[in-house]
Amino acid sequence: RVIKMASNENPLGVSPRVREVMEKCASQAFRYPQSGNPRLVKALASFYGVDAGRIFVGNGSDEVIDLLFRVRAVPGVHNAVAFRPCFGLYPTQAKMAGVELRQAPLKSDFSFDFPGLLKLVDENTTLVIVTSPDNPSGRAASVEELAALAGALPPACLLVVDEAYIEFAGAEYSLLSRLESLPNVALMRTFSKVYGLAGMRIGYAILPPAIADYLWRVRLPFSLNILAEEAALAALDDSEFREKTIELVKRGRVQLTEELRTMGCEVLPSLSNFIMFRTPEGAVGVKTLHGELLRRGIIIRALGGYHLPDWLRVSVGTDEENELFLRYTREILGA
Ligand SMILES: *Cc1c(COP(=O)(O)O)cnc(C)c1O
């Protein structure tokens, strides 16, 4: 038996209701999706109480990030700014777009250094990207901090807040309710985490209308496929599954945090569906723990890819998966 706790997927899997809809819609797969995915756009607009002209949907947040770089920045002229470490896709897509990505280090406790970030912004910065809650730390910025950052940027600079994990922190951490007074803010969200549809590839953004319009003009016409669109519509309607997921994750992250701390591990406080931690001084190192868990069938994330070789990240699982992870970890650490 293999337990995957490495990619922050939904521990409950696919919602049964969504699965039913996808099965029912399989026979429609010979059709092209409706260009512009108008039903999903409308559903998202009404779900969030925003104008439909602000909504963009694509093949995962990945596509949204890629298009934002290409639409917002002229290669060799404009630059983008993010923190270091950051989600691996920002640097690769910036590079593919020929756009310089400037990175401000996070503080040593992995909290956000907004003054440091602002120092990298100049008149050619057209994108600033902040992930909140952040990956891999799990830390979230307050709306006051984010609104202040947006206000301090040059008017032509778009603040993109990647809110992939926002549902696990709570609406009070989102700039959503402030969008009307913040004309240079975009929010990116996804169906990959709380909605349990990572494999269907559905991301969306709530944008200043003019930027949403640009993105729609250049997006490949059918990048969000017909089953993905049906799945997203059903998932959005399934508040029961969403709430069950959030409840499970909140309970699980408290348990993982407390028990890892009891074993002497250093654990960052998480507002997300994963925990970043490291083993205690004098105990086996993170490499050994990672490898020994793997031998026992549990996959967690080594953070070398984030240039954090001394840290690990574990996604919150089901109660049973969390128990097993904790039991093996205790055993390996001899705690
Ligand atoms: C998981 C994750 C996403 C979601 O990406 P999709 O392409 O929508 O699956 C976006 N941003 C961050 C930081 C993530 O960790």
Distance 334 CA to ligand 1 centre (A): 35
Give yes or no for residue 259 CB within 6 A of ligand 1.
no
- 25 C-beta closer than 6 A to ligand 1: no
pLDDT in tens, 11-36: 999 999 999 999 999 999 999 999 99
Q: What is the pLDDT of residue 33?
A: 96
- Ligand 1 pocket test, pick from 9, 59, 61 with the greatest ligand atom count within 8 Å of Cβ, gives 61
Closest protein CA for atom 15 of ligand 1: 135
Predicted pLDDT at 241: 98
Mind listing the pLDDT tens digit for each residue in 249-293?
999 999 999 999 999 999 999 999 999 999 999 999 999 999 999
Single pTM value for the model: 0.97
> Residue 334's pLDDT is what?
93
Which tens digit of pLDDT belongs to each residue from 171-221?
999 999 999 999 999 999 999 999 999 999 999 999 999 999 999 999 999
Please work out whether the CB of residue 59 comes within 6 Å of at least one atom of ligand 1: no
Ligand 1 and 62: CB distance under 6 A: yes
**Per-residue pLDDT, 257:** 98
Burial class (CB in 10 A: 0-12, 13-18, 19+), 190: buried
Secondary structure (3-state) at 11? coil
- Residue 318's pLDDT is 98
Mean pLDDT over 130-157 rounds to: 97
The rounded Å distance from CA 80 to ligand 1 centre is 18
Pocket test for ligand 1, best of 87, 168, 202 (most atoms within 8 A of CB): 87
Spacing, Cα 171 to ligand 1 middle (Å): 18
pLDDT bucket at 4, cuts 50 / 70 / 90 = very high
Contacts of 277 (CB under 8 A, 6+ apart): 260, 265, 266, 267, 268, 311, 312, 313, 314
Cα 109 from Cα 98, distance rounded (Å): 32
Residue 98 neighbours by CB under 8 Å, 6+ apart:
75, 76
Strand-strand pairing, 266-267 and 203-206: unpaired
> What local confidence, expressed as pLDDT, does residue 74 receive?
96
Q: Which atom of ligand 1 is nearest to the CA of 86?
A: 13
pLDDT band of residue 165 (cuts 50, 70, 90) is very high
pLDDT tens digits along 290-306 = 999 999 999 999 999 99
Q: Are strands 298-302 and 312-315 parallel, antiparallel or unpaired?
A: antiparallel
Average pLDDT over residues 107-130: 98
What is the predicted pLDDT for the residue at 335? 83
Residues 175/146, Cβ–Cβ less than 8 Å: yes
Contact of 229 with 24, CB cutoff 8 Å: no
pLDDT in tens, 54-66: 999 999 999 999 9
Strand order in the sheet with 100-105: 55-58, 203-206, 185-190, 158-162, 125-131, 79-84, 100-105
> Is the Cβ atom of 203 under 6 angstroms away from ligand 1?
yes
What's the rounded mean pLDDT across residues 1-14?
Answer: 97
Determine the distance separating the centroid of ligand 1 and the alpha carbon of 332, expressed in angstroms. Answer: 31
CA nearest ligand 1 atom 1, residue: 164
Residue 19 identity (one-letter amino acid): R
What is the rounded average pLDDT for all residues in the chain? 97
Q: Relative to the CA of 7, which ligand 1 atom is closest?
A: 1
